[in-house]
């Protein structure tokens, strides 16, 4: 689905084969757009994301039983994110969540909603819920920057506003997409593309399903514990792995930020990361940041020392030490077992 905003003057489409096909890559100056998002406010067209609706009086209790999130604590007007895991605890789906006026809205990556909807529908059984595709009805716009709150306070916008740290996602009627975009621009938001959005996301260490994850990824490896996974809830598919790793062990890999040496020869998503001749991980999102230069997210084996010189798809790379997750010490379950044996 190609966004009508891509037809506006100055909108530049992404390169062929991009996961973000159909929306603007930038509007003429991607580094200036990033600076606006960092220092003021920018608006990004993310209407290629796909939206599902889950209405029904049992929507919260039902979603609580089949996802990683504690939907029993989700009140009217609340927002969160959630995962669907397989039996081994590996991530199959990720969705941003809003609960408003009798419906839970789930928005997910382009091309992912059909499989997610099929899973939800097969899990309905006798529950009073009616999951459906809402992509034709709602589109996603994202506001980025320290002035987001002020702009939202002054603007009268239709749809659902989902605030997040330093940003907000707007689920607006798709038929009003162009009008809402123009109202935001008129109110002072700088038009920005997915280049800016992705560069800032990478710098903030926020993973993206299918780009920064692979078929083996478990939530602990990419920082989704606590944000998309609630550790104090009952059984759901894959919960055994979540509990075991949280209580008894550590994940085999961890997501880090790589600084890339050459802006001319950037690696591709999925390329291998090497330490000498040994493959030690995979490249996720690759971006050019307005301050950090060429950067990438990567999943590396936990055994890799952060100071180790690396190559990412043949490009010299180094781990940003501030991106390495802190060592939380001995897992609580292992400590309890040790005390029992003492």
Residue 336 reports pLDDT greater than 60 = no
Taking each helix axis as running N to C, give the angle between helix 332-341 and helix 239-248, from 0 to 180 degrees, rounded to the nearest 10.
60
Is 270 in the same domain as 189?
Answer: no
Single out the residue of 187, 179, 202, 204 nearest to residue 288, CA to CA. Answer: 202
- pLDDT tens for 261-301 read 987 789 999 999 999 999 999 999 999 999 999 999 999 99
CATH number of the domain encompassing residue 166: 3.30.1360.120
Q: Is residue 89 part of a domain?
A: yes
- The tokens of 229 are what? 């996974």
Residue 339 lies in a domain: no
Dmax (CA) of the chain: 71
- Does any domain span residue 338? no
Question: Residue 302: its pLDDT value, please?
Answer: 94
Please state, rounded to an integer, the average pLDDT across all residues of the chain: 93
Do 22 and 142 fall within a single domain? Answer: yes
Which of the listed residues 228, 251, 274 is the one where a domain comes to its end?
A: 251
Alpha-carbon distance of 342 to 335, in angstroms, equals 11
Residue 77 lies in a domain: yes
Q: Based on the domain organization, do 172 and 161 belong to the same domain?
A: yes
- Residue 56 phi, psi dihedral angles, 5° rounding: 125, 145
Give, in degrees to the nearest 5, the angle at Cα 224 between 63 and 95.
45
Distance between CA atoms of residues 5 and 105, nearest Å? 23
The percent of residues above 90 in pLDDT, for the chain, comes to: 87
pLDDT in tens, 95-113: 999 999 999 999 999 999 9
Rounded distance between C-alpha atoms, residue 210 and residue 146, angstroms: 29
The mean pLDDT value for 117-121 works out to 98
Q: Are residues 240 and 287 in the same domain?
A: no
Asked if residue 269 and residue 168 are part of one domain, the reply reads no
In Å, how far are 16, 72, 164, 258 from 60, measured between CA atoms? Answer: 40, 6, 21, 39
Which structural domain range is residue 301 located in? Answer: 252-326
CATH classification of the domain holding 285: 2.40.30.110
Residue 327 has pLDDT above 90, yes or no: no
Nearest to 82 by CA among 93, 242, 74: 93
* Angstrom distances, CA of residue 197 to CA of 135, 151, 204: 21, 18, 11
Q: Which of 219, 251, 283 is at the close of a domain? A: 251
Q: Same structural domain for residues 184 and 227? A: yes
| Listed residues 216, 233, 251: the one ending a domain | 251
pLDDT tens, position by position, 33-71: 999 999 999 999 999 999 999 999 999 999 999 999 999
Query: What pLDDT is stored for residue 222 in this prediction?
Result: 97
Q: Quick one: what percent of the chain has pLDDT higher than 70?
A: 96
Kindly report, residue by residue over 133-165, the tens digit of the pLDDT: 999 999 999 999 999 999 998 888 889 999 988
């Amino acid at each position: 689905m190609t966004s009508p905003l891509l037809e506006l003057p100055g909108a530049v489409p992404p390169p062929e084969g991009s996961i973000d096909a159909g929306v603007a890559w930038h509007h003429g100056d991607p580094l200036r757009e990033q600076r606006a998002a960092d220092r003021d406010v920018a608006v990004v067209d993310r209407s290629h994301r796909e939206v599902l609706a889950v209405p029904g009086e049992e929507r919260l209790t039902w979603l609580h039983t089949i996802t990683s999130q504690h939907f029993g604590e989700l009140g009217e007007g609340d927002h969160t994110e959630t995962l669907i895991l397989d039996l081994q605890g590996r991530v199959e789906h990720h969705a941003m969540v809003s609960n408003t006026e009798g419906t839970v809205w789930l928005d997910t990556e382009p091309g992912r909603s059909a499989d997610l909807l099929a899973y939800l529908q097969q899990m309905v059984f006798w529950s009073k819920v009616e999951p459906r595709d809402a992509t034709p009805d709602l589109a996603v716009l994202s506001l980025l920057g320290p002035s987001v709150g002020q702009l939202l306070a002054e603007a009268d916008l239709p749809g659902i506003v989902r605030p997040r740290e330093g940003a907000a996602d707007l689920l607006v009627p798709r038929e009003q997409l162009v009008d809402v975009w123009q109202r935001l621009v008129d109110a002072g938001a700088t038009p920005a593309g997915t280049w800016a959005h992705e560069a800032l996301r990478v710098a903030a260490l926020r993973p993206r399903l299918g780009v920064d994850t692979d078929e083996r990824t478990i939530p602990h490896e990419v920082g989704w514990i606590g944000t998309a996974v609630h550790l104090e809830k009952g059984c759901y598919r894959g919960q055994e792995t979540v509990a075991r790793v949280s209580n008894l062990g550590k994940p085999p890999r961890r997501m880090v930020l790589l600084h890339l040496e050459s802006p001319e020869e950037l690696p591709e998503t999925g390329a291998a990361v090497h330490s000498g001749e040994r493959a030690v991980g995979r490249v996720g999102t690759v971006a050019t940041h307005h301050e950090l230069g060429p950067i990438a997210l990567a999943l590396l084996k936990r055994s890799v020392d952060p100071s180790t010189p690396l190559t990412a798809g043949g490009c010299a790379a180094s781990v940003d030490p501030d991106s390495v997750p802190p060592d939380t010490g001995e897992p609580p379950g292992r400590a309890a077992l040790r005390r029992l044996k003492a």
